[in-house]
Structure 1
């Protein structure tokens, strides 16, 4: 392992993985350390959208929305296997926002950035259109616009995988215990999952620790910063499919917040999110009864089919580490990202990342490299805008056609498995099925088509160490398999 590195990235969420990928692709030596698993926290507990952020227009975040809209199209081209277009129906509630304001917002949404693949907004008569059928007859006026759905944790893993294949060292289960400056180098003490300590040297330290960004600064680096991080909890519930069709719904609430209802995993509906100030430990976050009631109430206000707590098949919560701009309302705290660069003359630089969102991670990484360029005299140009993520090199981005081809080549895998593999791994699915000529060649089936061959791939290529890594981050098969499957996968991974 090379030392000193050019850059040590602390944090294996979307920002850290994106920065590592960008940096190594510019010819830098990169080490990324993550104390848990890739996407173990905030980056896997999102609303699972690649979107411009329609409601951010109300807070005049035009730069952020424009950047996000541009990135939405780029990411769709880079990773069509894990990102898909989605139409959102917005039933209008005149008591929350006037119709002219909604129309103005959608006009900006359509025109702040160019669109190549996603259709623009349209007005919908909810009383006559089938898209209004699942809703209560509260309003006839609705609008529909485009955004994208994403497998959030896989987006993180694919960035880390690409970084690794370009030469970065990616270490999960490795914690930054401390770091100190020695002239123009950082000397970092790392602790691995087995408790072993070692020191590495790096020219630049990037703190992308998400909810732990302030902890890294104050406790592991013994530094103080004028920048603040504000933790905001977002919670979601998942219920059996609420309505037919492929459209999602964006629901306005009396408090002027919105709640999404999104088709999820073919037979489920994802509902979220909340915005609640949070002061606890990020790893201990969980949904509260009040949040559950809030989400249920929003759904029951708008939908013909009402739900209760008994319908919930899964819930999750995440902590968003937002830059503290002094806003009183948690929903109004900026989702934009802010960098804090500490680079005393003649000493090793430190860059800390505050805030950010899934949609803008790639651009955030470019901005990190731009701001670090004065300390990297031989830095190569930006390159990630047109580079597909692993598995994303699917002809015309047509995942269904690729799944059909996979099934034709390997008919024994079955249609359901072919489509799941295509949606999860894209063209990397071929590394899983390999030279198999019959289903038995894939090894034991742990349920829902998850085979020993897939688990071996996940362990070797994607850092999966536990059943939870596999069932809730590399895939979402935890929604389909019994609880005991997690222990069986644990045992397999330990012995594989």
Structure 2
């Protein structure tokens, strides 16, 4: 007798587990809609974990007169920082002035506007600096004597996606990773779809609305899975980053101008490294096989070498990553000047479908809110948006509502965690506090000594954390844990991933029947 296929009826089927899909699932579930989110790989497995990891207005977009996008992003910047102060925090940037590029007066005017397009509650304003007397100037070449300093924010992009999905699930959504959506059929009042998990299990879903949040795959998904022609094609642009041993020991980041008009950041990363990126190249290859090219490595090294005293080459690169950004098509714009704003394509010819086009991490919450503002009334749900007043999981350091205290007093809260878990090393508590926020208490529930954490699978990763990530955060492999749920992979010796994968396989083998690894869904 054939195996029974599980069936799920829902209001909204979201396809795509990047930041936009997770954000829409979260918002919709919080308004009482029945939501299913499916992702063919891991959450944030592609573009959403390959960003420059910044919460920012986009200073360079002012040059292209995208004032609306910059204002929208600047409003979201402080709102997001308050919602998850454990995985996001303010970051001060220094822009050395190169006399052969943008005039100083133009930069000063742009920063003046950047400071004033949206209200700032805790981020300091921009200012001019003499680099000879500034901490960030010491590692720069002597040619650079003048610069500018301004504020934006840092984010652990992959963890942001996971936290949005976690919030969605805790509000009633079903989140299925390693699950492919196929066999879509559109009916007058609903969509039917077959979801196939990596182990072959199939789920039949009937949904009143479909959300295509597949990022760079959006056009292909509409054509192949839904049989619909895209209303406006996406422009695919590859951005790549390199990581080298740290080039400076202060807390500032840099924004560098390139003669070709592009902007490249150099950012303190994981305490021991410097992150340099990004590139902007038209992309036409396979979306399942995206990697940095030798030319991109050379480009980023050369630009860093133009500014820093310490010179780097391809041999200094310890890690790199690349992602493809789906931008709304603009035939007249270069890759670096094409708009990063989002567009929501609405299709009500039968059961409704919404396709997300473009977007950036900073505006994901606003995008999700606008998406559900359209979806809800079509399905008879007129609940108002709520995410502007809610913390993401672990961000409720000083109460359920976002507050400036979480941003301004994170160090004090972290010190309290040091006291509470005094039997752990300060470095481990600091990492747990940053990764999990208040969920550190959930992860370490019942632990009173180092022995209670279980075996140290690889240096710095104990069984209790790996169990938590598999049970609560959809981690399935060493790559999920070492490169997306954390960046431990940068700090570990060779062979660590193989050890962790073996431990995960053993854990699954030991799971009781009917509970395959106790993985979250």
Tell me if both proteins adopt one fold, taking TM over 0.5 as the criterion: yes
Q: 1:180 aligns with which of 178, 182, 185?
A: 185
Q: Secondary structure at the match of 1:116?
A: coil
Q: Deviation at 1:408?
A: 1.4
Q: Deviation at 1:364?
A: 0.3
Q: 1:326 aligns with which of 326, 331, 344?
A: 331
Partner of residue 389, structure 1:
392
Distance 1:9 1:362 in 2: 15
Distance 1:74 1:83 in 2: 11
Partner of residue 45, structure 1:
50
Partner of residue 265, structure 2:
260
Q: 1:292 aligns with which of 297, 302, 307?
A: 297
Distance 1:482 1:177 in 2: 40
Distance 1:376 1:61 in 2: 34
Q: Deviation at 1:323?
A: 1.1
1:30-79 Cα offsets, whole Å, 9 max, x none, are 00000000000000011010000000111111111001101110011000
1:153 counterpart = 2:152:
no
Distance 2:459 2:441 in 1: 19
Q: 2:464 aligns with which of 433, 453, 456?
A: 453
Partner of residue 112, structure 1:
117
Distance 1:400 1:270 in 2: 23
Distance 2:95 2:7 in 1: 52
**Greater Cα offset, 302-311 or 269-278:** 302-311
1:447-491 Cα offsets, whole Å, 9 max, x none, are 342100000000110000101000000010000112322122222
Q: Secondary structure at the match of 2:38?
A: strand
TM-score scaled by structure 1?
A: 0.97
1:65 counterpart = 2:70:
yes
Q: Secondary structure at the match of 1:413?
A: coil
1:398-426 Cα offsets, whole Å, 9 max, x none, are 33223322221222211000000001001
Q: 2:232 aligns with which of 208, 212, 227?
A: 227
Q: Deviation at 1:358?
A: 0.5
Q: Deviation at 1:2?
A: 7.4
Q: Deviation at 1:325?
A: 1.8
Structure 1 residue ranges without an equivalent (≥5): none
Structure 2 residue ranges without an equivalent (≥5): 1-5, 399-404, 508-521
1:371 counterpart = 2:374:
yes
Q: Secondary structure at the match of 1:282?
A: coil
Q: Secondary structure at the match of 2:101?
A: coil
1:206 counterpart = 2:211:
yes
Partner of residue 455, structure 2:
444
Partner of residue 3, structure 2:
none
Equivalent residue runs for 1:80-159 within 5 Å: 80-159=85-164
Cα pair 2:238 2:322 within 8 Å, conserved: yes
Distance 2:376 2:190 in 1: 16
Distance 1:343 1:117 in 2: 43
Q: Deviation at 1:113?
A: 0.1
Cα pair 2:458 2:499 within 8 Å, conserved: no
Distance 1:379 1:94 in 2: 55
Q: 2:21 aligns with which of 11, 16, 21?
A: 16
Q: Secondary structure at the match of 2:461?
A: coil
Q: Secondary structure at the match of 1:283?
A: coil
Q: Secondary structure at the match of 1:139?
A: coil
Cα pair 1:399 1:423 within 8 Å, conserved: no
Note closer, same or farther for the CA distance 1:14–1:170 as it changes in structure 2 (3 Å cut).
same
Distance 2:234 2:373 in 1: 23
Q: Secondary structure at the match of 2:114?
A: helix
1:271-299 Cα offsets, whole Å, 9 max, x none, are 00000000011121111111101100001
Q: 2:417 aligns with which of 406, 418, 421?
A: 406
Partner of residue 483, structure 1:
494
Q: Deviation at 1:370?
A: 1.9
Partner of residue 361, structure 2:
358
Partner of residue 495, structure 1:
506
Q: 1:248 aligns with which of 241, 248, 253?
A: 253
Q: Secondary structure at the match of 2:247?
A: coil
